[in-house]
């Protein structure tokens, strides 16, 4: 099998929805500062899509692991199965537009083991809900009752970093910070205990993955962007953000751009800045000065 893109276009998804069985559609719309996305889902979604609440399904309760800790694998697998996902399912995840939230569901499904042998099983919709609507494709207000699936939890299929490993990688390798520049620089911090970034981390804002219309930039363009940030060769690469949500889109982007393969993905620091900044013993760097050894 040649390189398979983890991204699917609206046209290709429309074709797939006419096949039997069609892919499971997961509506993962969510916004850090609100408002809640469930009312949006109820007012219109892709036909057959089921809503997935990020805070309660795609994360465990906030605590020592950060604001959106990695879910317990058995609970997560059961939740996905309740939404109709089985070991043999094809799944397409979508959010409002740029894929930064849908990538969290993509990453968690891959972490559980879905798509280990065939990455075509789990994809993200290019352009999200907005892109689908912009093309004049059908939407629905009907809330489906999916037939429960059977999903085997095989956690660990995507690599993760703890705080110590993330700090070491930032100084000795490449650790990418997916947050907006003003948060990385320490100019503002609207959510977490302290401002700044992990010393040695490089800023790679997730917003640069897509254009103004929410569609992903071409793979070659993204590959050049990440090579300029030091992602070259087979050396380890990790990503983090505020709480481990939008950083999954960096992991996704590196695979989409061809810089990492499905069997050698970038690692995710799951606790991210929300965990790091809550520990007063861990340093916080500000500005653009180099902190690398």
10-residue averages of pLDDT along the chain (293 residues): 85 97 97 92 98 97 97 98 97 97 98 90 98 98 96 96 98 97 97 96 98 95 98 94 98 97 95 98 85 43
Q: Are 234 and 206 in contact (CB under 8 A)?
A: no
Q: What angle do CA 51, 66, 111 make, to 5 degrees?
A: 55
Confidence at residue 147, expressed as pLDDT on a 0 to 100 scale: 95
**Are 99 and 180 members of one domain?**
no
Confidence at residue 151, expressed as pLDDT on a 0 to 100 scale: 97
Confidence at residue 293, expressed as pLDDT on a 0 to 100 scale: 37
Q: In terms of Cα–Cα distance, which of 274, 176, 252 is closest to 6?
A: 252
Residue 292 is assigned to a structural domain of this protein: no
Residue 88 is assigned to a structural domain of this protein: yes
Residue 229 structural domain: 160-276
CA distance 85 to 150: 7
**Are 99 and 173 members of one domain?**
no
Residue 268 is assigned to a structural domain of this protein: yes
**Are 203 and 241 members of one domain?**
yes
CATH code, domain carrying 44: 3.40.250.10
Residue 121 is assigned to a structural domain of this protein: yes
Confidence at residue 194, expressed as pLDDT on a 0 to 100 scale: 96
**Are 120 and 167 members of one domain?**
no
Confidence at residue 34, expressed as pLDDT on a 0 to 100 scale: 85
**Are 16 and 126 members of one domain?**
yes
Confidence at residue 233, expressed as pLDDT on a 0 to 100 scale: 85
Confidence at residue 117, expressed as pLDDT on a 0 to 100 scale: 80
Residue 287 is assigned to a structural domain of this protein: no
- Altogether, the residues listed in the chain come to a count of 293
Tell me the backbone φ, ψ of residue 77, rounded to 5 degrees: -60, -40
**Are 207 and 93 members of one domain?**
no
Confidence at residue 2, expressed as pLDDT on a 0 to 100 scale: 59
Secondary structure (3-state) at 135: coil
Q: Are 127 and 213 in contact (CB under 8 A)?
A: yes
Confidence at residue 119, expressed as pLDDT on a 0 to 100 scale: 86
Confidence at residue 291, expressed as pLDDT on a 0 to 100 scale: 46
Q: Which residues are catalytic?
A: 241
β partners of residue 267: 238
- Dihedral sign of CA atoms 178, 184, 188, 190 in order: positive
């Amino acid at each position: 099998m040649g390189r398979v893109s983890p991204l699917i276009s609206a046209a290709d998804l429309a074709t797939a929805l006419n096949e039997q069985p069609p892919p499971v559609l997961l509506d993962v719309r969510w916004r850090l500062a609100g408002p809640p996305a469930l009312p949006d889902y109820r007012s219109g979604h892709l036909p057959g899509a089921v809503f997935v609440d990020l805070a309660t399904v795609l994360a465990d309760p906030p605590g020592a692991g950060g604001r959106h800790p990695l879910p317990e694998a058995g609970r997560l697998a059961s939740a996905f199965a309740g939404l109709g996902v089985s070991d043999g399912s094809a799944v397409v995840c979508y959010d409002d537009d740029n894929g930064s939230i849908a990538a969290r569901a993509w990453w968690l499904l891959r972490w559980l083991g879905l798509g280990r042998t065939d990455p075509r099983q789990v994809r993200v919709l290019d352009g999200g809900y907005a892109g689908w609507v912009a093309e004049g494709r059908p939407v629905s207000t009907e809330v489906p009752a999916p037939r429960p699936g059977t999903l085997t939890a095989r956690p660990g299929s995507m690599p993760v970093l703890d705080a110590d490993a993330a700090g070491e990688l930032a100084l000795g390798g490449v650790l990418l910070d997916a947050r907006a520049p003003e948060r990385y620089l320490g100019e503002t911090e609207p959510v977490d205990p302290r401002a700044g970034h992990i010393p040695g981390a490089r800023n790679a804002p997730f917003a640069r993955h897509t254009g103004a219309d929410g569609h992903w930039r071409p793979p070659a363009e993204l590959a050049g962007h990440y090579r300029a940030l030091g992602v070259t060769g087979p050396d380890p690469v990790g990503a983090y953000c505020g709480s481990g949500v939008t950083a999954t889109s960096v992991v996704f982007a590196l695979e989409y751009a061809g810089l990492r393969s499905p069997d050698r993905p970038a690692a995710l620091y799951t606790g991210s800045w929300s965990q790091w900044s809550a520990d007063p013993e861990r340093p916080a760097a500000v500005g653009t000065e180099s902190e690398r050894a």
